[in-house]
Every structure is written in structure tokens, then in C-alpha cells.
Amino acid sequence: MLLNFHVKNLALIDESDIYFDEGLNILSGETGAGKSIIIDSLNFALGGKLDRSLLRDNDDYSLVEAVFETDSKAVCEKMKELGISFEDGQIILSRKVLKNRVLSKINGENVSVSVLKEISGLLIDVHGQQEHQSLNDKRNHLKILDEFGKEKISKLKEITSDCYKRYSELKNELDKLSIDEESRKREIDFLEFEINEIESATLINGEDDNLEADYKKLSNGKKIINSVNKCHQLISEGNNSAANSIGEGMRLISKVAEYDVNLSNLLDSLSNVDSLLNDFSRELSDYISENEFSEEEFEEINQRLTVINNLKSKYGDSISDILASLEEKRKRLDTLVNFETYKESINKKLKNAEKDLVDASLKLSECRKKISTKLVKEITKALLDLNFLQVSFNMEFRKTLDYSANGFDDAEFIISTNPGENLKPLGKVASGGELSRIMLGIKTVLADTDNIDTLIFDEIDTGISGRTASMVAKKMAYIARRHQVICITHLAQIASMADSHFLIEKKINKNEGTTSSIIKLSNDAIITELSRLVGGTDITDAILSSAIEMKDNANIIKKEIEKG
């Protein structure tokens, strides 16, 4: 659920925190108080675009933060996949707008907007006018059906997707075999040349690294030998060598060591140095004898590297890449040499894959049609509850021209809201206000299967009043028993169902100008706000009494919903 939403330096809001609760959270306020700013800024926190007009000229930055708490398995897996720390089930989404850039973060780690949207899409579902209009796109109708019946449909979709993948791979392979005889012979000749070129090099994995090291060593061979010889001379050769000087030092100290025990210890130390120096001198002498520069060896290494680098320029950045390319070329050559046999084999596999795809798509379609009967029945009931008095609702299935990973179903909701009228596509019949109620009806039906914890409804009360508003309010309360719901409304019927009620106010301060604030209302303040929603600014005793009665009735309805 959404625990807290923090906004700073955005439009009329200086700084504000909203601590949401479980159940139905209602936000209300006068027109122009800043209700739209809350939704716009929340959408921005979830990865949406920000209306630049909301930014204030005198502020260095604007900030929005949304704090969620979840135990969703899908969220846990996605956070782990992204490598983002995730402790105590808490996720903080934040976006900070600076002068020339926007910083997006999840739990303090910088992320792209696409990642932010991916995570937020698993946490919260926002239903505004745009989301209601999504019902006009029939592709979303099949998604709704699949979500409703996911327990039975998901596995069939997975099987169908696997079959389609296999079918597509074989079809692509067959398309590659569309080649005339002359082109086939040319490709065979070229492949034979390339294969022979690689094979004749008798490459060994890792040899290029060894050759590079040897080349580097030999190319600096003279320089190395000169330096090593000079070092050997300084250590071991002549009267002024280090070995001779240490030996002379040992003789001098040994003559007087008997007079001072400390000198005996120093003599032992110098003796160790002499021993180490002698060992080093022998190893250095061995190195000189074993590493004499060979012009012939250097040329051989140079030529071998030239061959390998030439192959790299054609077939891959490493020897393993070249050998992998060789294997692919052998397979392709074998295919072209045995062209007809291979083509016949792919055709046979393709027919079998197509049959599997048809069977899987058919089973998926049959399952969808069976489940759609139940979905249609439940949506129809929900629409009747939402005051669609003479509604007829159904789902129409057609078959797509081509197969896809999603089968061959082209499904669409059809509806008639008036008696005697034929059922027509939903997007061609329903008005904006009707679409919002239909979406609410669908969300009510999906309430038990939807895994997203938090739902936000904005403009759900567009074009409704009276009895319809009361029915919409009851549906909102029903959904809020299974999800956290946040709803912005101007209707008292919906607001009365609130488990928590927040008031958005606009204040005019002489020094600071105009600001918006959000406060959580007490029980008495809730009655006052309901009275305002019912009767406007002139609140009479009758209106106040009506508001109290409305809240009491709402509490009774919510208890009935809880009992089931």
C-alpha cells in the first residue's frame, strides 16, 4: 500500500506530506484548491511526464516521493532482478527536478524512467480519464479477460507462447532457405574458402594472449638483457660490486664482533643479506643464460600474430569467437550441401510446430470463451448495480488473420444501454461518464484477482449524481475492502464512504502568496466537509443533519460489505 506521499516546491504546494491508510482514502476540496496537483505530482512520482507549468521559478528544485509497503512476490522478484536493495518490504520512489535535469530513484539508487514505471506499475494502478478511455481500445478487453481468468488462462498462454516461439524460429529458418541454385553454389564456394582459411590456422583458445605476452617481451628483448647484465655487474662483478663490498664488510665486523655482543647480531644480519644476494645473483645469471634474444623466434611470433589478427578482423574479436564462427559456417555449409534434405526436414518440423500452435491456440480460445461467460455475467451485474438499468453486455470473439504468442483471439466487449438496441462495440456506444462507471464495474469484478495493492480513482464521479452516485460509492467501498483505494471526488455520496478523509485547501497569505495544504480530517471535520459537499457554503441545520445521516448510512453499508 501507499504509506506516504511527499511533495515539495510544486505549483501551490510549498511542502506537504500525506499519510494514507488502508481502505478507502478520500480527497476532497473546493474547485481550484489543488486536487489535480496531487494527482499530477503522484503520476510524476510513478514515472509519468510533468507539466512544466507546475514548476516554480524561484525554487532551486522540486521533489516528489512516494513510500510503499508491499509483500508482493512479483515486486520482490523484480527488485532482486534489478539489484536494488529492498528491506522490510518498503519501496521509496522519488523524482527530483533540478534546473536542467530530473533525477529518478528507487530506494536511493538512480534508475531510468522505464525502470521506475516498471516497478510502480506493480505497486499502484491509477484510473483517471485516460485510463477510462483505454476501454475504447479493444486490445485491452482481452487483457481484462485474461486477468480475470489468469488462474486457468496463464498456463495455456505460456504454452501458446512457447509454441509460437518454436513456430516462428522454424518459419524464419525456412525463409533463410529461399535461395536460387546459382546463389547456393556461390555461397558454398565462399563458405569452403572461409572454413579452410580458419581450419588451416589450427587455432588454440588462449594462444593469442600467450603470443602477445611473448611478443611484448621479445620486442623489448635487447633492452631487457642490457638492463639485467648491468644489474649483474653491479651486484657480482669487480672490486666495487655489492657482493664484494658486503664480503669486505663482514670481514671487518667479524674482527671486532668478539668485543660487543650487538655486533655479533649485526654480523648475522649481514650474513643473511650476503646469502640472499648470492641467491639473487645466481638466479639473475640463470635468467641471462635462458633468455638470450632470438631474432628467429621473434619473427615466428610476429607472423603467427599477423595470421590470428587477420582472422579476428574477419570472424570475431577473439579466438573463441572465430572458432564459434567456424562451427556456424560448417553447419551452414552442411545445410547448403544437403539443401533439399534439410529443407524437407524444416518443412516437416514447421508443419508439426504449426499443428502444436493451432492446438494450443484453440485450447486457449476455448478456455477464454468459457471464462468470458462468467466475466460477462459478473460485469453485467456490476453495471446494474451502478444504475445501468437496461444494460446488455457481452464479449464477442473473432479470429485474427495470423497467429501470435497470444493465440488467435480478437475479442471485444459489446454493449447496449437502451432496450431494443443491438449490442455494439463498447468504444462506439459509451460516453466518458459511462466509461468511468464501466471501468469501476470491471475493477469491482477484478477486485479478488488483481494483485496490485493500491488503486487511485480520479474523475470517477464525472457526469453522475443522485442514485447513481450512491451506487458508485458502494462499489468503491467494496473494492476498498480488498485494496487500498485513493479517490478524489466532489460527491458527498462517495466521500461518505471514506475510511480516511483528507481535505485539500487553498490559503492566501499576504506575505507568502497562495498555497495549498492537505490535512486529515477528524470525525467532526468530516461531517462539516460532507455538509459543504451537500449544500455548498451555506450549511444549515438540515444540511448538517443530512450529512450525519449520510455518514451513518455509509458506515452501515460498509459493515454489510465486510460481512459479505
- For the stretch 68-125, pLDDT in tens is 999 888 889 889 898 888 888 899 999 999 888 899 999 999 999 999 999 998 899 8
Average pLDDT value for residue range 490-499: 93
Cell numbers 488483481 label which residue? 450
Task: Determine the average pLDDT of the residues in 176-192.
Answer: 81
Summarize the chain as % helix, strand, coil (round to 5): 60, 20, 20
Report the pLDDT value the prediction gives residue 129, as an integer from 0 to 100.
Answer: 58
Task: State residue 429's pLDDT score.
Answer: 73
d(CA 162, CA 18): 46
> Is the per-residue pLDDT at 130 higher than 70?
no
Q: HSE-up of 462 (CA within 13 Å, CB side)?
A: 20
Tally of CA atoms within 13 A in the half-sphere of 22 that contains its CB? 5
With a cut of 90, say whether residue 288 has pLDDT above it: no
Q: Can you give the pLDDT at residue 521?
A: 94
Distance between CA 547 and CA 527 in Å, rounded? 6
- Is the predicted pLDDT of residue 292 greater than 70, yes or no? no
Q: Write down how long the chain is.
A: 564
What is the model's pLDDT at position 293? 62
CA end-to-end span of the chain: 23
- At residue 235, φ and ψ (nearest 5 deg) are -85, -40
- Of 533, 521, 528, which is closest to residue 548 (Cα–Cα)? 528
Output the pLDDT for position 495.
94
Strands (E), 323-391: none
- Virtual torsion, Cα 137, 138, 143, 144, nearest 10 deg: 90
Instruction: Quote the mean pLDDT of the chain.
Output: 86
Which residues pair with residue 91 across a beta bridge? 68
Question: Vertex 97, ends 132 and 30: CA angle to 5°?
Answer: 50
Model confidence at 397, in pLDDT bands (50, 70, 90)?
Answer: very high
Lowest mean pLDDT among 82-86, 188-192, 332-336, 397-401: 332-336
Nearby residues of 114 by Cβ (< 8 Å), 6 or more positions away: 47
Q: Stretch 260-278: mean pLDDT, rounded? A: 82
**In the predicted structure, residue 133 carries a pLDDT above the cut 70:** no
C-alpha grid cell, residue 436: 468511468
Mean pLDDT of 436-457: 84
Q: Which residues lie below 8 Å from residue 149, measured CB to CB, with a gap of 6+? A: 367, 368, 371, 374, 375
pLDDT the model gives residue 210 = 86
Q: Rounded CA gap, 346 and 349, in Å?
A: 5
| Separation CA 477–CA 516 (nearest Å) | 28
The number of helices, as runs of H, and strands, as runs of E, in the chain is: 20, 15
Kindly state the cell numbers that stand for 286: 640463470
